[in-house]
Amino acid sequence: MSAETNEVSSRALLSSDASNRSALERSHLDLETAEKPYLDSNELIINMGPQHPATHGVLRVILKLDGERVLGTECVIGYLHRGVEKIAENRTYTMFNPYVDRMDYCAAVSNGLGYCEAVEKLLNVVAPPRAQYIRVILTELNRIASHQLWLGTHALDIGAMTPLFYTFRDREEILKIFEKYCGARLTTHAFRIGGCQYETYAGFEKDVNNFLTFFAPKIDEYETLLTTNRIWLERTKNVGVISGADAIALGVTGPVLRASGVKWDLRKAQPYAAYSEFDFEIPVGTNGDTYDRYLVRMEEMRQSMRIIEQAVSRIPEGAIMGKVPKVIKPPVGEIYHSIEAPKGELGYFIVSDGSTQPYRLRVRPPSFVNLQALDVMVRGLLVADVVAVIGTIDIVLGEVDR
């Protein structure tokens, strides 16, 4: 790293020090009282990423270190910026639908659900119940898949290689169901505005049920590897702590918020799709540390299985497509709709000018907002913890940068 960049980034770090002080005094107080370096040693500024194995893509974090202790961070993002919002303004509502899958590609179904529901809201139509159920099943399957991916990579960051392969093995079963349903595995484009494009294939319920019976012991298998593992506990307990108040102030949502003790899940708070019809719990943590976030996500997978089980057993008959015009032309107006994506609140703010293309489409990406909390979470920790915390926030750079 050149001296020039050093200077720029350290200036940026200093200025961000001054900024958040009012709202986040706790973490900054820690920084203030941290031992001053005894010798006249230069603070080390190292550049983590964008080509770094543990930054989950092309995240670049500039770390200011004293030895191995983190004095401050600055995230440099945008390496994967594709201008999704600009593209939306130049595509029709239908044409834009596949693009949303490319944001959080680990949870493409959730992205699609959020988008379709937002446009439906703008159109003032509701998808028929059967479509709602299919949506719930696929979205929850995707939530499990996303959490599996998170678990594998997070464990890999902390040094446990093996869980990655176990989670990928089991994620494969979910992807198979997606593939059988809509032909795609990752960027599924499963839903359409007004409902679903495809009726479930013959044996869909059986496949999903098979997956549930297959997967239940697998979660226990993951937990056997990690939950009571001494090293795992040492590496995750009291690491990257964020209090509930700080989390709310920083707009953190999803499992990260819930692990800090805030019992808030959009599926319960403002139910969308068919979620109000299912019985499930919201797992909540107490300490807001990396371990709690791990536990919360593990429990979320179990709760997702509960939802899927109920949905599959009660899936109603009927149409899968609502009465939506061929050409989607919502009335003039603007709408904000958000869903609980695996990573947090995924919102779509759409402004319509009455034409076939969105006048303005804003995506509220959970990863982007959650990533902002990284600085608060890692100050005063060690380099190794930065990796653990990046993992635990569960970011997907496709969504951060859009």
Report in angstroms how near the CB of residue 177 gets to another protein at its nearest: 20
CB of 29 to another protein, least distance (A): 15
- Minimum CB distance to another protein, residue 172 (Å): 11
Among 101, 130, 151, CA closest to 314? 130
Beta carbons within 8 Å of 358's beta carbon, 6+ residues apart: 88, 89, 93, 96, 350, 351, 352
Q: At closest approach, how far in Å is the CB of 36 from another protein?
A: 11
The CB-of-228 to another protein minimum distance in angstroms stands at 12
Sheet of 69-76, strand order: 44-48, 60-66, 69-76
Q: In the stretch 185-214, what mask flags binding to another protein with x, by CB under 8 A?
A: ------------------------------
**Under rule CB under 8 A, how many of the chain's residues touch another protein?**
98
Nearer to another protein, 109 or 193 (CB): 193
- Give the contact letters, 1-20, x = binds to another protein (CB under 8 A), - = no: -----------x--xx-xxx
Q: Which of 335, 341, 378, 396 binds another protein (CB under 8 A)?
A: 335
One residue of 34, 213, 231, 281 binding another protein per CB under 8 A: 231
Closest to another protein by CB, 116 vs 226, is: 226
Q: Over the chain, what HEC string results?
A: CCHHHHHHHHHHHHHHHHHCCCCCHHHHHHHHHCCCCCCCCCCEEEEECCCCCCCCCCCEEEEEEECCEEEEEEEECCCCCCCHHHHHHCCCHHHHHHHHCCCCHHHHHHHHHHHHHHHHHHHCCCCCHHHHHHHHHHHHHHHHHHHHHHHHHHHHHHCCCHHHHHHHHHHHHHHHHHHHHHCCCCCCCCEECCEECCCCCCCHHHHHHHHHHHHHHHHHHHHHHHCCCHHHHHHHCCCCCCCHHHHHHCCCCCHHHHHCCCCCCHHHHCCCCCHHHCCCCCCCCCCCCHHHHHHHHHHHHHHHHHHHHHHHHHCCCCCCECCCCCCCCCCCEEEEEEEEECCEEEEEEEEECCCCCEEEEEEECHHHHHHCCHHHHHCCCEHHHHHHHHHHHCCCHHHHHC
Q: Of residues 175, 223, 372, 380, which one binds another protein by CB under 8 A?
A: 372
Q: Choose the stretch contacting another protein; rule: CB under 8 A; options: 182-190, 209-217, 294-302, 321-329.
A: 321-329
Binding part of the chain for another protein, among 77-85, 101-109, 178-186, 213-221 by CB under 8 A, reads 77-85
C-alpha–C-alpha distance, residues 129 and 218, integer Å: 31
Stretch 25-44 residues interacting with another protein (CB under 8 A): 35, 38, 41-42, 44
User: Least distance (Å) from another protein to the CB of residue 98?
Assistant: 17
Instruction: Give the contact letters, 239-278, x = binds to another protein (CB under 8 A), - = no.
Output: ---------xxxxx---------x-x----xxxx---x--
Among residue numbers 347 through 366, which ones bind another protein (CB under 8 A)?
A: 347, 349, 351, 354, 359-360, 362, 364
* Contact pick of 7, 25, 30, 68 for another protein (by CB under 8 A): 68
The binder of another protein chosen from 50, 98, 334, 380 (CB under 8 A): 334
Q: How far is the CB of 167 from another protein (least distance, A)?
A: 11
The span of 104-112, 201-209, 288-296, 334-342 binding another protein (CB under 8 A) equals 334-342
By rule CB under 8 A, what string of x and - marks binding of each residue 128-167 to another protein?
A: ---------------------------xxxxxxxx-xxx-
Q: Which of 105, 329, 357, 380 binds another protein (CB under 8 A)?
A: 329
Q: How far apart are CA 125 and CA 107, in angstroms?
A: 24
Q: Which is nearer to another protein, 50 or 209 (CB)?
A: 50
Q: Please name the residue that has the structure tokens 């770094």.
A: 52
The reply to whether 330 sits near another protein by the rule CB under 8 A is yes
Look up residue 274 and give its two tokens: 């068919």
Q: Would you count residue 121 as binding another protein (CB under 8 A)? A: yes
Instruction: For another protein, give the closer residue by CB, 270 or 286.
Output: 270
Measure the CA–CA gap between 26 and 129, rounded to whole angstroms.
48
- The smaller minimum CB distance to another protein, of residues 190 and 250, is found at 250
